């Protein structure tokens, strides 16, 4: 009995369980199924989610990561998501039931994706076969993937000089785009054709293959500029070490670059080579491409001209620079030869000399040079060797230029009255240095020959200098007032008397032999101008002589010599008594300002007292001196005018010398190597402009002297908010003593260029995976700058798509850069919104048919097209079917496919394939599902139907981009009967379960009885 009760209990439990199952089936809100379609290469997967709601259930949305992916149809709700990597996709289903809100999650695990989509050339089709099951043949699908360059250049071009070594390290010249593996920089390959020893344009290519197999490359433009070199005046090439040396005379002006020009081979912007582009020379810091030069053994030498103060061999060091910093150096020798120095000579020639005549002066000199006194004809060579006339291999020659032939002169001939005769040999000395590369130099000089007759047994009185002596009143007074003025000195003790005796000398052979001194005395002084003659017998003290000699004029002094034997001789000597000469307001130091190519004439005012006691003024002017260089010129003023108060006199006034240092002080110049071109709103620092000059002292030492600077803007800075030029005048005051040029000004013009201005579309709309070239055309970017002269110059643009997702869109960045002459570069950026329209979404149901059924593809498949731009145009729906049929009637059992393909207004193309299962008529009894009822969607245009043997699977569909415009059109059939059949199956299964359970329970009960 207990078993019977247990079996009845178990039977009841089975019934209850069946009822619970039935209740559960009724109470369940959603019925969810999912399928995953993998691409053949497992690179993508499409998740298809079907959701069937229970009665009174309204599904509101199905989202993935906040995106609504819900697609409604008559049977329920669908959702679709395309993934490209292994992941878990969570569908969030929101629905309402009886006015309450509910959510439910559905997790789908995708774990068979193996590869990523590879980049491909947009011009090459890549076919991907997709199959859903082994016996289902899929068509080829063309996938065009836009190529994305992940490399960018740090700089568009590189300028280098010949011989410069550049390491084209990718880390210095390219960058990997953000969001890409930065370790790829180590895989960048460099391909260069740069020849750093040859002027020209070259390219360096940087390329890299990313992990997906895509290749990116960029090209750096490289120009190799030539180093400076020399050409002569005929524009012929001259090697740097082939410059001729410079050969000049002492105090000649020298220009270091005479005969040569500095050039370089320049690569222009268009890549052409301009040979022998000149490089200008600079003389101060404001000049571009200044050539630095220094001269060994000569301090304070500037580039330009200079007068050398001493003979010698110097070396000029040159450093040439092209505009890009390429340097060339060389050395040039400068040889300086001294001036020809001459001085007059005197000789006493005896009338009894056996040699009366000579054929030329050279013969006369060689035979009598030891007796010629004071004679000088010499030059100091560049090697500091004293070259004298008459020495072996001397370059100096002397030519007689007198009125008579030299060979006709009788050197022993006396005057007719038997008195001594004076011969003046007029000569010209020449330093013949032209053969050594120096200019010849000539000077005049005289040799004075005194022909004397020696008196037998009588002293010979000779003057120490045959030229008339010149005395000044001051020298007479100086020699006379050596004691108190009231002191009475005897005549013979008088210094002035002794002074007069110093001008002569007496030779007496007899006295010399006997050791006696010959007595010499002044016996007479005659004042020629006043016709006054005074015998010394009437003179008692020196003051008498002073009184006689202190007034300007000419006096004649008679000397008498008496030897021990009483033999006597007399001679007469003329003295010119002139006033002292002085320099009026004379400065030992004169400051002058440097001036390239300029000259200065040293001058001084001298004064003296004439015979009438009048003060006379006269100006002395020397040869011009060069002002090319900052240096010291030491000049000597020598007074050499004739007596203007003795009109008939041919005698010269006593030479008075005065030295003066002329300091050539540097030019005032403005420094500050600042660029002349800027961008608008750049701030230009005007305080960088300084002024001053090089100051030289009497020892030749230079130092820099600054002067205050003001500008016409009265501001430390300037700027401009628009393109154009701004002229600024800088002023400084010259405070140099003795020069004072007053206000010195310089104008500087600053040019302002606008920032690059970009014009383009603000927003564009493209299809998925649109090519960069097409996006470039749509954006239509142009850029230009306005130059200081208000002309407009186009500049290139670069569009960066690194922040544009090929499916979701984003912002493209336009960069336009412009570089000024001074290498300053600025970039303008503009963002363009890129809207990506998603591919159309096609959904359709598989079709079950039997032989003999009519194939109505649109109504049976319930195909639906969703577009995100424009309107759905069914004429663009292309249908490819391989179902065997005739006149619409299927006639062969098998599995077939139908592919739907749609291209929207901007070129996005999607395709979707369904299965068609054709069964035989015998299987009809086993399928209680009634034939579908056709419910057309009344399209305005008919789709295109194409038969095919290669139906395709779904093209990749990415619903992540937000559509700008969306329209759905659905081609449906009536599904009510199918729905009812499905529900009947569920009810019949429950009823059958209850019946079977009840019968089995009854059986058990009966069995126990």
| Contact indicator for 390, 365 with CB cutoff of 8 Å | yes
| Contact indicator for 834, 766 with CB cutoff of 8 Å | yes
Q: CATH number, domain at 214?
A: 2.60.40.10
Residue 468: what pLDDT? Answer: 44
Query: Out of 65-74, 414-423, 546-555, 646-655, which region has the weakest mean confidence (pLDDT)?
Result: 646-655
Mean pLDDT (whole number) for 575-601: 79
Residue of 247, 280, 284, 261 lying closest to 629 (CA atoms): 284
Does 894 map to a domain? yes
Environment class of residue 776 by beta-carbon count within 10 Å: exposed (0-12), middle (13-18) or buried (19+)? middle
Band (pLDDT 50/70/90 cuts) for residue 396 is very high
Mean pLDDT (whole number) for 810-839: 92
Same domain, 260 and 285: yes
- CA distances for 421 relative to 217, 414, 453, 504, 522, angstroms: 105, 5, 9, 17, 23
pLDDT digits (tens, 9 = 90+) for 133-181: 334 333 333 333 334 688 999 999 999 999 999 999 999 999 998 888 8
Residue 995: what pLDDT? Answer: 83
Residue 944 above 90 pLDDT? Answer: no
More confident residue, 706 or 368: 706
Does 402 map to a domain? yes
Residue 665 above 80 pLDDT? Answer: yes
Residue of 972, 966, 947, 956 lying closest to 911 (CA atoms): 956
Residue 712 above 60 pLDDT? Answer: yes
Tell me the range of 11-20, 360-369, 458-467, 492-501 where mean pLDDT is highest: 360-369
Q: Whole-angstrom Cα distance, residue 655 to residue 637? A: 10
Same domain, 275 and 219: no
H or E stretch covering 67: strand 67-68
SS3 240: helix
Does 865 map to a domain? yes
Size of the chain in residues:
1009
**SS3 letters across 294-318:** EECCCCCCCCCEEECCCCEEEEEEE
Q: Whole-angstrom Cα distance, residue 790 to residue 785? A: 9
In the chain, the percentage of residues whose pLDDT exceeds 90 is 27
Domain boundary among 268, 289, 306: 306
Does 833 map to a domain? yes
* Cα 351 from chain centre: 85
Environment class of residue 774 by beta-carbon count within 10 Å: exposed (0-12), middle (13-18) or buried (19+)? middle
Mean pLDDT (whole number) for 325-344: 86
Q: Whole-angstrom Cα distance, residue 465 to residue 502? A: 11
Band (pLDDT 50/70/90 cuts) for residue 845 is very high
Q: Whole-angstrom Cα distance, residue 58 to residue 770? A: 39
More confident residue, 1008 or 861: 861
What angle is formed at CA 215 by the lines to CA 157 and CA 142, rounded to 5 degrees?
Answer: 135
Q: Whole-angstrom Cα distance, residue 998 to residue 976? A: 33
H or E stretch covering 847: strand 847-850
More confident residue, 1005 or 320: 320
Tell me the range of 192-206, 413-427, 595-609, 619-633 where mean pLDDT is highest: 192-206
What angle is formed at CA 58 by the lines to CA 54 and CA 48, rounded to 5 degrees?
Answer: 75
Mean pLDDT (whole number) for 74-84: 77
Q: Whole-angstrom Cα distance, residue 78 to residue 559? A: 152
H or E stretch covering 22: helix 2-27
Residue 295 above 60 pLDDT? Answer: no
Residue 476 above 60 pLDDT? Answer: no
Same domain, 858 and 825: no
Q: Taking the CA atoms of 419, 420, 421 and 424 in sequence, report the sign of the dihedral they define.
A: negative
Same domain, 234 and 278: yes
Same domain, 828 and 852: no
Structure tokens at 917: 């299962």
Residue 454: what pLDDT? Answer: 54
Residue 418 above 80 pLDDT? Answer: no
More confident residue, 41 or 342: 342
* Longest distance between any two alpha carbons in the chain, whole Å: 210
Same domain, 845 and 912: yes
Number of H-type helices and E-type strands within the chain: 10, 77
Residue of 493, 489, 308, 346 lying closest to 423 (CA atoms): 346
Residue 479: what pLDDT? Answer: 40
* Cα 713 from chain centre: 29
In the chain, the percentage of residues whose pLDDT exceeds 70 is 69
| Contact indicator for 256, 277 with CB cutoff of 8 Å | no
Does 610 map to a domain? yes
Same domain, 780 and 831: yes
Question: What backbone phi and psi angles, to 5 degrees, belong to 848?
Answer: -110, 125
Q: Which residues contact 16 (CB under 8 A, 6 or more apart)?
A: none
Same domain, 793 and 818: yes
Residue 640: what pLDDT? Answer: 61
More confident residue, 220 or 325: 220
Does 210 map to a domain? yes
Same domain, 812 and 845: no
| Contact indicator for 661, 632 with CB cutoff of 8 Å | yes
Domain boundary among 431, 454, 477: 454
Structure tokens at 253: 């002006």
Residue 107: what pLDDT? Answer: 84
pLDDT digits (tens, 9 = 90+) for 897-935: 999 999 988 888 999 999 999 999 865 444 444 444 333
Same domain, 235 and 301: yes
Whole-number average pLDDT of the chain: 76
Residue 487: what pLDDT? Answer: 41
Does 516 map to a domain? no
The side-by-side arrangement of strands in the sheet containing 909-919 is: 847-850, 909-919, 894-903, 877-881, 944-947
| Contact indicator for 963, 868 with CB cutoff of 8 Å | yes
Q: How many independent structural domains does the chain possess?
A: 6
Q: Taking the CA atoms of 150, 154, 156 and 162 in sequence, report the sign of the dihedral they define.
A: negative
Q: Whole-angstrom Cα distance, residue 729 to residue 732? A: 10
Give this prediction's pTM.
0.38
Does 275 map to a domain? yes
Mean pLDDT (whole number) for 416-421: 80
Q: CATH number, domain at 762?
A: 2.60.40
Tell me the range of 85-94, 109-118, 246-255, 912-921 where mean pLDDT is highest: 912-921
Residue 729: what pLDDT? Answer: 93
Question: What backbone phi and psi angles, to 5 degrees, belong to 277?
Answer: -75, 125
Q: What is the CA radius of gyration of the chain?
A: 60
Residue 293: what pLDDT? Answer: 46
Structural domain containing residue 202? 150-225
Environment class of residue 73 by beta-carbon count within 10 Å: exposed (0-12), middle (13-18) or buried (19+)? middle
Domain boundary among 785, 815, 837: 837
Q: Whole-angstrom Cα distance, residue 909 to residue 141? A: 11
């Amino acid at each position: 009995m207990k078993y019977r009760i247990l079996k009845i209990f178990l039977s009841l439990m089975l019934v209850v369980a069946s009822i619970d199952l039935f209740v559960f089936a009724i109470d369940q809100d959603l019925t969810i199924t999912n399928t995953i379609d993998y691409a053949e290469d497992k690179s993508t997967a499409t998740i298809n989610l079907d959701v069937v709601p229970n009665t009174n259930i309204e599904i509101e949305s199905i989202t993935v990561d906040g995106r609504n992916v819900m697609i409604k149809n008559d049977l329920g709700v669908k959702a679709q998501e395309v993934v490209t990597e292994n992941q878990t996709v969570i569908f969030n289903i929101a629905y309402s039931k009886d006015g309450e809100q509910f959510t439910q999650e559905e997790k789908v695990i995708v774990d068979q994706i193996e590869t990523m989509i590879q980049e491909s050339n947009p011009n090459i089709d890549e076919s991907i076969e997709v199959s859903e099951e082994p016996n289902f043949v899929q068509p080829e699908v063309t996938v065009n993937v836009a190529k994305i360059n992940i490399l960018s250049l740090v700089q568009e071009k590189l300028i280098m000089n010949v011989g410069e070594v550049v390491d084209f390290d990718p880390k210095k010249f390219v960058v990997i785009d953000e969001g890409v593996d930065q370790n790829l920089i180590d895989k960048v390959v460099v391909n260069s054709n740069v020849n750093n020893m040859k002027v020209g344009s070259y390219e360096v290519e940087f390329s890299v293959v990313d992990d997906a197999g895509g290749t990116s490359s960029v090209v750096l433009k490289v120009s190799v500029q030539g180093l400076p070199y020399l050409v002569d005046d005929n524009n012929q090439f001259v090697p740097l070490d082939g410059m001729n040396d410079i050969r000049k005379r002492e105090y000649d002006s020298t220009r270091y670059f005479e005969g040569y020009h500095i050039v370089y081979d320049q690569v222009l912007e268009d890549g052409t080579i301009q040979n022998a582009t000149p490089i200008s020379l600079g003389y101060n810091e404001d000049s571009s491409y200044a050539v630095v030069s220094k001269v060994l053994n000569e301090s304070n030498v500037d580039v330009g001209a200079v007068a050398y103060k001493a003979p010698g061999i110097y070396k000029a060091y040159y450093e040439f620079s092209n505009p890009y910093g390429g340097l060339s150096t060389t050395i040039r020798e400068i040889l300086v030869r001294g001036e020809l120095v001459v001085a007059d000579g005197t000789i006493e020639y005896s009338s009894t000399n056996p040699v009366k005549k000579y054929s030329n002066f050279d013969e006369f000199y060689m035979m009598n040079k030891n007796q010629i006194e004071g004679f000088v004809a010499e030059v100091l060579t560049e090697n500091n060797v004293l070259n004298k006339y008459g020495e072996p291999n001397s370059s100096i020659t002397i030519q007689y230029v007198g009125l008579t032939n030299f060979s006709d002169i009788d050197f022993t001939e006396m005057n007719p009255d038997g008195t001594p005769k004076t011969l003046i040999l007029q000569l010209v000395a020449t330093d013949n240095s032209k053969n050594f590369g120096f200019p010849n130099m000539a000077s005049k000089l005289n040799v004075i020959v005194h022909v004397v007759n020696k008196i037998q047994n009588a002293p010979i009185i000779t003057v120490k200098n045959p030229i008339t002596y010149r005395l000044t009143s001051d020298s007479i007074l100086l020699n006379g007032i050596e004691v108190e003025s009231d002191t009475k000195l005897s005549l013979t003790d008088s210094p002035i008397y002794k002074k007069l005796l110093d001008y002569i000398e007496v030779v007496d052979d007899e006295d010399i032999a006997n050791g006696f001194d010959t007595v010499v005395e002044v016996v007479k002084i005659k004042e020629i101008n006043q016709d006054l003659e005074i015998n010394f017998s009437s003179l008692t003290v020196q003051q008498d002589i002073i009184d006689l000699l202190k007034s300007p004029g000419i006096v004649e002094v008679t000397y008498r010599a008496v030897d021990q034997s009483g033999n006597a001789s007399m001679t007469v000597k003329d003295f010119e008594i002139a006033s002292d000469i002085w320099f009026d307001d004379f400065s030992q130091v004169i400051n002058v300002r440097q001036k390239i190519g300029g000259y200065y004439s040293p001058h001084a005012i001298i004064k003296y007292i004439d015979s009438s006691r009048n003060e006379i003024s006269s100006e002395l002017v020397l040869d011009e001196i060069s002002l090319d260089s900052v240096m010291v010129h030491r000049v000597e003023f020598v007074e050499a005018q004739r007596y203007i108060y003795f009109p008939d006199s041919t005698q010269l006034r006593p030479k008075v010398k005065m030295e003066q240092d002329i300091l050539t002080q540097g030019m005032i110049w403005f420094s500050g190597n600042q660029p002349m071109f800027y961008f608008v709103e750049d701030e230009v620092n005007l305080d960088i402009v300084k002024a001053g000059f090089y100051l030289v002292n009497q020892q030749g030492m230079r130092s820099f002297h600054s002067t205050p600077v003001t500008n016409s803007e009265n501001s430390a800075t300037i700027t401009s908010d628009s393109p154009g030029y701004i002229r600024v005048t800088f002023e400084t005051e010259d405070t140099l003593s003795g020069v004072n040029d007053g206000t010195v000004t310089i104008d500087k013009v600053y040019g302002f260029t606008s920032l690059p201005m970009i014009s383009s579309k603000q927003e564009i709309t493209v299809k998925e995976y649109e090519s960069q070239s097409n996006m470039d055309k749509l954006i239509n970017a142009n850029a230009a700058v306005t130059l200081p002269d208000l002309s407009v110059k186009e500049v290139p643009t670069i569009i960066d798509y690194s922040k544009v997702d090929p499916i979701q869109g984003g912002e493209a960045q336009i960069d336009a850069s412009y570089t000024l002459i001074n290498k300053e570069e600025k970039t303008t950026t503009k963002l363009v919104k890129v809207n990506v329209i998603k591919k159309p979404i096609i959904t359709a149901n598989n079709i079950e048919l039997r032989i003999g059924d009519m194939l109505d593809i649109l109504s049976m498949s319930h195909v639906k097209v969703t577009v995100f731009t424009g309107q759905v145009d069914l004429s663009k729906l292309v249908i490819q079917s391989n179902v065997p049929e005739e006149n619409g009637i299927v006639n062969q059992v098998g599995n077939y496919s139908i592919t739907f393909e749609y291209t929207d207004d901007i070129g996005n193309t999607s395709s979707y394939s369904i299965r068609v299962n054709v069964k035989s008529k015998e299987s009809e009894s086993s399928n209680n599902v009634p034939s579908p009822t056709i419910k057309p969607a009344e399209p305005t245009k008919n789709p295109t139907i194409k038969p095919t043997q290669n139906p395709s699977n779904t093209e990749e569909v990415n619903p992540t981009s937000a559509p700008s415009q969306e329209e759905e059109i659905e081609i449906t059939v009536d599904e009510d009967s199918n729905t009812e059949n499905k529900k009947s199956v569920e009810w019949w299964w429950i009823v059958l379960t209850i019946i079977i359970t009840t019968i089995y329970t009854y059986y058990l009960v009966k069995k126990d009885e």
